[in-house]
């Protein structure tokens, strides 16, 4: 408890990485079961959380995951506003910090869904694709909306390519302080996880680009829709199984990040000042 009091932002961040890891582990595990025909599902994050409701202590787990995701949201936003990871103020640095800010908003929405499920106030299971289609339809209704949707799709697809590149040649253990005897298998987990995330982001971005080209928001898919698209391909169960294993690996990698990631978190006063500057 004393460590939490001394480093509240760092504790929030570590709790958040762990919660994100649990969500990815659930998504990957359920998708793997679906691939091998042993039940499971190819739903997204909200569908995965829904499966916890009927499990022993399921609502307690959902409440803890919700708290963790709110912590991850707070860390991502503070990370972007205070440059806690020293990304810098060049174009690349601002790009990464902007992506973290968007990530924080997305995980805030997922945290709200988990909390509603824990309180018995939402089904949370089937709305991920629909939510993506709704915001796409809204964006298309704005001036130059079709171009904006296409641009978002290209950015998402580009992020997927970056994840695949990181899995292949990048330093996935960057910012991790790993014991030497555990480094090899943790790096393997990270590479598998980033590769799977890259495939999913590439598919989601592709669906957005198609939606822009055809001016049809109904073509947009979220995480669950991307996994389902893989399953529908020739030898789809193999593609789905490999991607599911990668997502499960990224879930385990998230637990590693919760333990070993270097987090140079700002203290509460600096964090409050950064938020206040944005609010002015």
Per-residue pLDDT at 150 exceeds 80: yes
Q: What pLDDT was estimated at residue 203? A: 96
Per-residue pLDDT at 2 exceeds 50: no
**Rounded mean pLDDT, 47-62:** 91
Summary mean pLDDT of the chain:
89
**Rounded mean pLDDT, 262-280:** 65
**Rounded mean pLDDT, 75-82:** 90
Q: What pLDDT was estimated at residue 254? A: 97
d(CA 71, CA 113): 15
Q: Where does the pLDDT of residue 4 fall: very low under 50, low under 70, confident under 90, or very high at 90 and above?
A: low
Q: Where does the pLDDT of residue 62 fall: very low under 50, low under 70, confident under 90, or very high at 90 and above?
A: very high
**Rounded mean pLDDT, 256-280:** 73
Q: What pLDDT was estimated at residue 274? A: 57
> For residue 184, with 0-12 CB atoms within 10 Å meaning exposed, 13-18 middle and 19 or more buried, which class applies?
exposed
Of 56-65, 125-134, 161-170, minimum mean pLDDT range: 125-134
Q: Where does the pLDDT of residue 6 fall: very low under 50, low under 70, confident under 90, or very high at 90 and above?
A: low
Percent of the chain predicted with pLDDT > 70:
91
- ∠ at Cα 80 (183, 45), nearest 5°? 65
Please give the structure tokens belonging to residue 103. Answer: 């990530």
| Residue whose entry in the numeric block shows the structure tokens 């939510």 | 131
Backbone angles phi, psi at 176, to 5 degrees: -110, 135
In this structure, is the dihedral angle defined by the CA atoms of residues 78, 105, 93 and 222, taken in order, positive or negative? positive
Per-residue pLDDT at 41 exceeds 80: yes
| Each residue's pLDDT tens digit, 79-125 | 888 888 888 888 888 988 999 999 999 999 999 999 999 998 765 44
Q: What pLDDT was estimated at residue 268? A: 60
Torsion, CA 138, CA 142, CA 145, CA 151, rounded to 10: -80
Q: Where does the pLDDT of residue 276 fall: very low under 50, low under 70, confident under 90, or very high at 90 and above?
A: low
Q: Under 8 Å CB-to-CB from 194, ≥6 apart: which residues?
A: 163, 164, 166, 167, 170, 172, 250
d(CA 79, CA 108): 15
Per-residue pLDDT at 1 exceeds 50: no
Q: Under 8 Å CB-to-CB from 165, ≥6 apart: which residues?
A: 198
| Each residue's pLDDT tens digit, 226-254 | 999 999 999 999 999 999 999 999 999 99
Of 4-8, 56-60, 195-199, 271-275, minimum mean pLDDT range: 271-275
d(CA 156, CA 162): 10
């Amino acid at each position: 408890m004393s460590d939490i009091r001394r480093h509240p932002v760092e504790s929030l961040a570590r709790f958040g990485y762990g919660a994100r890891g649990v969500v990815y582990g659930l998504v990957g595990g359920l998708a793997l079961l679906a691939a091998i025909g042993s039940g499971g599902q190819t739903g997204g994050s909200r569908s995965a959380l829904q499966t916890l409701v009927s499990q022993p202590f399921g609502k307690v787990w959902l409440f803890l995951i919700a708290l963790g995701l709110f912590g991850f949201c707070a860390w991502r936003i503070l990370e972007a506003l205070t440059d806690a990871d020293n990304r810098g103020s060049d174009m690349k640095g601002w790009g990464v910090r902007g992506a973290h800010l968007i990530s924080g908003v997305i995980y805030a929405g997922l945290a709200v869904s988990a909390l509603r499920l824990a309180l018995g106030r939402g089904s949370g299971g089937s709305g991920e694709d629909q939510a993506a289609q709704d915001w796409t339809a809204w964006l298309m209704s704005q001036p130059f909306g079709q171009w904006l949707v296409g641009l978002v799709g290209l950015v998402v697809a580009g992020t997927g390519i970056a994840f695949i590149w990181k899995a292949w040649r990048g330093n996935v253990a960057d910012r991790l302080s790993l014991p030497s005897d555990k480094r090899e298998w943790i790096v393997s987990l990270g590479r598998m996880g980033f590769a799977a995330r890259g495939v999913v982001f590439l598919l989601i971005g592709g669906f957005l680009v198609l939606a822009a080209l055809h001016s049809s928001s109904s073509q947009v898919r979220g995480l669950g829709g991307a996994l389902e698209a893989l399953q529908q391909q020739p030898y789809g169960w193999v593609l789905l199984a490999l991607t599911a294993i990668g997502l499960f690996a990224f879930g385990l990698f998230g637990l590693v990040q919760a333990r070993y990631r270097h987090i140079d978190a700002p203290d509460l006063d600096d964090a409050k000042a950064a938020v206040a500057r944005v609010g002015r």
